[in-house]
Amino acid sequence: MLGQQPRDLAIIHIINESWHLVRGIKWPVFWLSFAFNLFFSIAILLLAISYIPIGVFVFTISQQMPALGHLLQTIMTSLIFFLPNIVTWYLLAAIIMIGVRQSIGLPVIVGAVFSECMSVGFKLLGLAACYFFVSLIIKILLGFVLDNSGLFTFTGFFLVAILGYFTLFMYVFSLPLLITKKCSVFFAVKQGFDMINRHMIKITLCYTLIFILLILSAIPFGIGLIWTIPMTCVMSGIWFRDVFGLNSYLTVSRKQDSQ
């Protein structure tokens, strides 16, 4: 365990604190989220157009060898998503770190947040690559299961659950741990995995509730997302704060912000 001992992680207290800490970060989170989705959409569109010739080749292969064609299709699709993720990963890191700073009472200065993220830029890239390769393997296995069963079997559900589990601890724990502790990618992934195992039930319930709130807040015109998206961001910061403790990070960040 790093830092101070964790608090009593009551789900209702975490959600309640998340709601009360939304004030002051709505617009930074909103505009970063907007930039994230806009850049990602444009990049995907441009890359998809550029991959049309390769797509024709993959389609030709799939007509003769369906299994190989499906494998190539999965790999190419993942590559299309990974390339823009190299940039959007840093935007995502900034969004998550805004929640971390808000949870410990640090001023939300977007420039300072990006500076923190860029200080471990190559490590963030390594973490993104780690996430890409693990998710690619899971997607290949999932495609194999669906091709052979024709139905969404228990094995398929299990693989989707693993992907969601891996995504959750990478975003909530490993990514901010890499930035705040300046540790290695391996250490960040290992600690994130250990901590989500320790608090798996509470974290799953907490994010299930916030997911339901996000869906409800999107009805009918998505106006409620202005509050619930920052709330989700802060909630991730609170989980990270209470599980790992951030006393040393708080001291260093205050000195840097005052300079």
Q: Is residue 200 part of a domain?
A: yes
Question: Which amino acid type is present at position 146?
Answer: L
Q: What is the pLDDT of residue 4?
A: 45
Mean pLDDT (whole number) for 138-164: 73
Residue 210, domain member (yes or no): yes
Look at 208 and 72; give whichever has higher pLDDT. Answer: 208
pLDDT above 50: residue 5: no
**Least confident piece of the model among 45-49, 147-151, 227-231:** 147-151
Establish if 98 belongs to a structural domain.
yes
In a domain, 121, yes or no: yes
**Which token pair is 80?**
């299309």
In the chain, the number of structural domains is 1
Q: Is the pLDDT of residue 125 over 70?
A: yes
The residue segments making up the domain with residue 199 are: 11-254
| Single pTM value for the model | 0.77
pLDDT of residue 6: 46
- Establish if 67 belongs to a structural domain: yes
Which is higher by pLDDT, 187 or 76? 187
Q: Is the predicted pLDDT of residue 223 greater than 80, yes or no?
A: yes
- DSSP letters along the chain, please? --SSPP----HHHHHHHHHHT-TTTHHHHHHHHHHHHHHHHHHHHHHHHHTHHHHHHHHHHHHH-HHHHHHHHHHHHHHHHHHHHHHHHHHHHHHHHHHHHHHTT----HHHHHHHHHHTHHHHHHHHHHHHHHHHHHHHHHHHHHHHHSS--HHHHHHHHHHHHHHHHIIIIIHHHHHHH---HHHHHHHHHHHHHHTHHHHHHHHHHHHHHHHHHTTTTSTTHHHHHHHHHHHHHHHHHHHH--HHHHHHHHHHHH-
The answer to the question of residue 18 being in a domain is yes
What is the mean predicted confidence (pLDDT) over 89-95? 85
The stretch 74-100 carries a mean pLDDT of 78
Q: Is residue 4 part of a domain?
A: no
| 237 in any annotated domain | yes
